[in-house]
C-alpha cells in the first residue's frame, strides 16, 4: 500500500503563537496518520517542529511553517530543548509522536492562557479510536489507578496541578527559557523536573480536560510493564530531589502494599497473632481489586483489570525501590530501550 504524502494547511504568519514540538526516533506511521489532525485544528496560528533522529527532512520539505530538525540519537529531553531553542512561538506545545490533537486543542488552551497567572497547561491523553483490547485494558488500569493520575487518561475536572507529562503539556516559552529547560542529565523524569522548576515561579499550572489529545497506550503486556517500571524508578528517584510534587501518598501506596505483602507475610509465619491482621488487610486489598474491576463497567474487562492492576502495582513498587536507592546519576541512563544507546548529556 502506497503511503499518502503528508500535507498541512499552508499559511504564512509573521508572528507565531504556538510552537508544537514533537520528538521522535523516526517518522512513524503513527505520526503520518496524525498529520490530518493538525490540519483540522481550529486555531491556525502555529508551527510544527519535528525532531527525528535522522532522515526526516525530505518527507516534509514542501510544507510551510514546519521545521524538521534531525537531532541524532539523543534523549527526548534534549530533543525538546532543541525544539524550544528553534521555536518562534510564544507558547510551547509539547506532544508525543504517537498522539494527535482534538480539533479545539489550541483554541481551548488559548482560553486558559488568557489568565496571565497561568504558566502552563496539562491536558488528558485519552484512548484513540481503533485501540486493541490490550490498549483499552492498559488505559483503563491507568485511568482507575488514582484520582490524581487517572485524569491523564480520561477527562477529569479542571484543577491546579504541579506535575504533568509532556505527551500533552503547554507552557509559555519565556518562563520555560527562564528555567533553563529540561535537565538533560537524566534519561527519564524530565516532566517532573520541569514542572517543579516552573511552579517555583509562583504561577499556576492548570489541568483542563478540554485541552485534549488522543494518545496510543502500549500495545503489549511486556511494554506496559516496562513503562510502569520506568515510571516507578524515576518517581522514587525524584522523591529525593523534588519533594514538592513527588512525595505524595498516592505515589507511595504501591510500595506500602508490596512492603506489607512481603514483610507482613514473613511476620505472620513467625507470630500467629499477626497472621490475623495480615489476612484481614489482605482481604481488604482483594476487595479493593474487586471494586476496581467493577469500576471498569465491563464484564470483559472485570477480571483482566483486576489482574493487570495487581501486576502493575507490584512492578511500580519494584521500580520505586530501585529509584529510592539509586545514586546521583539516577536509576538508569538507558531509559526504557537500552539498545538505543541514547546520548543523555548535551552534545558539545
Considering the domain architecture, whether residues 172 and 271 belong to the same structural domain is answered as: no
Q: What share of the chain is helix, strand, coil (3-state, %, to 5)?
A: 50, 15, 40
What's the pLDDT tens digit per position in 169-193?
Answer: 999 999 999 999 998 777 777 888 8
What secondary structure letter does DSSP report for 59?
G
Segments forming the whole domain that contains residue 110: 18-132+152-217
In a shared domain, residues 156 and 292: no
Average pLDDT, the chain: 86
Gap between the Cα atoms of 94 and 191, Å rounded: 11
The CA dihedral of 266, 250, 243, 237, to the nearest 10 degrees, is 50
Domains held by the chain: number: 2
Closest C-alpha among 151, 142, 177 to residue 296: 142
- Beta strands 204-207 and 125-126, pairing class: unpaired
The whole model's pTM is what? Answer: 0.85
Q: What is the pLDDT of residue 202?
A: 87
On whether both 190 and 74 belong to a single domain, the answer is yes
- pLDDT of 343: 45
Which of 222, 292, 215, 220 has the alpha carbon at shortest distance from 257? 292
Note whether residue 211 is domain-resident.
yes
Q: Output the domain CATH number for residue 171.
A: 3.90.550.10
Residues 285 and 199 in one domain: no
Does residue 285 fall inside a structural domain? yes
| Residues 182, 78 share a domain | yes
Q: Same domain for 40 and 177?
A: yes
Residue 199 lies in a domain: yes
- Do 304 and 163 belong to one domain? no
Tell me if 231 is assigned to some domain: no
Residues 278 and 195 in one domain: no
Could you tell me what percent of the chain has a pLDDT over 90?
A: 54
Residues 207 and 326 placed together within one structural domain of the fold:
no
Domain match, 62 and 176 both: yes
165 and 286 in a single domain? The answer is: no
Are the CB atoms for 64 and 10 separated by under 8 Å? Answer: yes
Are 200 and 62 part of one and the same domain? yes
Run means of pLDDT, 10 residues per run, the chain, 348 residues: 40 76 90 91 95 75 80 91 96 96 98 96 95 96 89 94 94 95 80 90 94 95 94 88 77 81 83 85 91 95 96 93 83 53 41
CA–CA separation, 20 and 142 (whole Å): 26
Amino acid at each position: 500500500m502506497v503511503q499518502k504524502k503528508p500535507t498541512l494547511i499552508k499559511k504564512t504568519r509573521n508572528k507565531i503563537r504556538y510552537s508544537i514540538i514533537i520528538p521522535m526516533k523516526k517518522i512513524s506511521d503513527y505520526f503520518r496518520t496524525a498529520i490530518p489532525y493538525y490540519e483540522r485544528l481550529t486555531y491556525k496560528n502555529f508551527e510544527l517542529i519535528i525532531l527525528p533522529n535522522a532522515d526526516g527532512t525530505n518527507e516534509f520539505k514542501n510544507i510551510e511553517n514546519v521545521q524538521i530538525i534531525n537531532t541524532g540519537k539523543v534523549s527526548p529531553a534534549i530533543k525538546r530543548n532543541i525544539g524550544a531553542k528553534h521555536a518562534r512561538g510564544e507558547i510551547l506545545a509539547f506532544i508525543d509522536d504517537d498522539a494527535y490533537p482534538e480539533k479545539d486543542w489550541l483554541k481551548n488552551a488559548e482560553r486558559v492562557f488568557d489568565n496571565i497567572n497561568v504558566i502552563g497547561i496539562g491536558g488528558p491523553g485519552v484512548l484513540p479510536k481503533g485501540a486493541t483490547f490490550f490498549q483499552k485494558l492498559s488505559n483503563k488500569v491507568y485511568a482507575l489507578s488514582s484520582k490524581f493520575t487517572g485524569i491523564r487518561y480520561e477527562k477529569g475536572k479542571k484543577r491546579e496541578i504541579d506535575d504533568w507529562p509532556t505527551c500533552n503539556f503547554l507552557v509559555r516559552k519565556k518562563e520555560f527559557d527562564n528555567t533553563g529547560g529540561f535537565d538533560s542529565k537524566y534519561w527519564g523524569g524530565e516532566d517532573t523536573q520541569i514542572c517543579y522548576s516552573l511552579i517555583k515561579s509562583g504561577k499556576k499550572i492548570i489541568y483542563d480536560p478540554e485541552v485534549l489529545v488522543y494518545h496510543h497506550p502500549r500495545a503489549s503486556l511486556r511494554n506496559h510493564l516496562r513503562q510502569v517500571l520506568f515510571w516507578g524508578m524515576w518517581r522514587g528517584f525524584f522523591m529525593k530531589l523534588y519533594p514538592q510534587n513527588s512525595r505524595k501518598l498516592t505515589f507511595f501506596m504501591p510500595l506500602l502494599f508490596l512492603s506489607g505483602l512481603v514483610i507482613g507475610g514473613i511476620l505472620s509465619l513467625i507470630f500467629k497473632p499477626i497472621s490475623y491482621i495480615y489476612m484481614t488487610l489482605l482481604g481488604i486489598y482483594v476487595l479493593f481489586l474487586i471494586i476496581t474491576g467493577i469500576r471498569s463497567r465491563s464484564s470483559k474487562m472485570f477480571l483482566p483489570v483486576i489482574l493487570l492492576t495487581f501486576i502493575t502495582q507490584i512492578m511500580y513498587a519494584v521500580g520505586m525501590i530501585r529509584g529510592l536507592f539509586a545514586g546521583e546519576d539516577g536509576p538508569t541512563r538507558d531509559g526504557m530501550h537500552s539498545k538505543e544507546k541514547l546520548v543523555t548529556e548535551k552534545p558539545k
